[in-house]
Amino acid sequence: MREKLPPPKLAFGINEAAHSLSVGRTKIYCLINEGVLRSIKIGGRRLVCAESLHQLLKAKQPGCAND
Can you give the residue ranges of every domain in the chain?
11-59
Half-sphere exposure of 53 (CA within 13 A, CB side): 22
pLDDT tens for the chain, 67 residues long, are: 688 999 999 999 999 999 999 999 999 999 999 999 999 999 999 999 999 999 999 987 665 444 3
pLDDT given at position 33: 96
Q: What is the pTM of this model?
A: 0.79
CB atoms within 10 A of CB 37: 20
Amino acid identity, residue 54?
Answer: H
Give the DSSP H/E element, type plus range, for residue 13: strand 11-13
pLDDT given at position 2: 80
